[in-house]
Amino acid sequence: MSEQGGPPQAGWWQASDGNWYPPESHPQAAPPSPVAPPMAPPPPTFAPPAYAPPPYAPAATWQPPPGSAGMNGCLKAFLIVFAIGMVAVIGVFVVLAVAVHKVSTDVTSGINAARKTCANAPSYPGKIDLDHCADASGQVRNFGLTVTLTNPRRQVDETLKQKEICADVRYENRSGSTKTFNTFDWKLQTPAGIVQSFELTGATLRAGDLVPGGTTSGAVCFTDPGDRGRFVFIWQPEFIRIDRGIWFANL
């Protein structure tokens, strides 16, 4: 309320008593509307995600595990080496087969040739298929050599003062390569079947090499066992071959 005079503020009204009153006190003023309480915010809403089909993925193809490339490389290398090895082995077998066939053919030819030389020879203990018996002139042709044995005899060595059985031998190299000769290549088989090897005697055949076309000679001797009958002089110059030269002597 205000004393008479002008309105203190806009909207004030003057009553019959001459005083001014605020607008809300006017008899025709509408009652103030109640103040609505503040509304709570609505709860959050969650919309489900829109469905979308998964993106298309092509079918997975098989891939070798890590490191398999190197493993495959090793396998290939192994197979190559194995194949080369097999070819080499087969080649060795072929070479061996050819060599064996050649040796077999040579042995067969040698046996046939040797049998011919001994066809009319007397039998003796220890005879083998590759024995080459001396011909009527006392010669044996084998190993690229012609060896002649003559004058088998009993004698007394004046230096050693012992009885011996000796024979003179002569070598001729008919081959195109150097050949060896040695008194150790000779043996004497007694009528009792005992084979005597090198002994300290008066033998004059030494050891050496014989060039193509070369000749040498000497005597081979053995201690005399005192036996009587057929002795067999045996010549075998190569250890790896069983060919032998054979001479007979009745003493």
In whole angstroms, give the CA distance from residue 230 to residue 123: 10
Would residue 180 count as lying in a domain? yes
Strand partners, 210: 179
Q: What's the CATH number where 142 sits?
A: 2.60.40.1240
Write down the residue that tokens 């008194």 correspond to: 183
Percentage, residues of the chain above pLDDT 70: 76
Would residue 122 count as lying in a domain? no
Owning domain of residue 242: 131-250
> How many domains does the chain divide into?
2
pLDDT at 226: 95
Amino acid letter for position 96: L
Cβ atoms of residues 197 and 236 within 8 Å? no
pLDDT at 13: 75
Would residue 102 count as lying in a domain? no
**Block means of pLDDT (10 residues each) for the chain, length 251 residues?**
68 78 76 63 64 62 61 79 90 75 56 87 92 96 97 94 96 97 96 91 95 97 96 94 96 96
pLDDT at 68: 56
The per-residue DSSP string of the chain comes to: -B-SSS-SSTT-EE-TTS-EE-GGGSTTPPPPPPPPPPPPPPPP--PPPPP-PPPP-PPPPP-PPTTHHHHHHHHHHHHHHHHHHHHHHHHHHHHHHHHHHHHHHHHHHHHHHHHHHTTTSPP-TT--TTEEE--TTSEEEETTEEEEEEEEEEEEETTTTEEEEEEEEEEEE-SSS-EEE-GGGEEEE-TTSPEE---SS------EEE-TT-EEEEEEEEE-----SEEEEEE---TT---EEEEEEE-
Would residue 216 count as lying in a domain? yes
pLDDT at 165: 97
In whole angstroms, give the CA distance from residue 182 to residue 236: 10
Would residue 201 count as lying in a domain? yes
Would residue 236 count as lying in a domain? yes
Would residue 179 count as lying in a domain? yes
pTM for this structure? 0.59
pLDDT at 74: 80
Would residue 59 count as lying in a domain? no
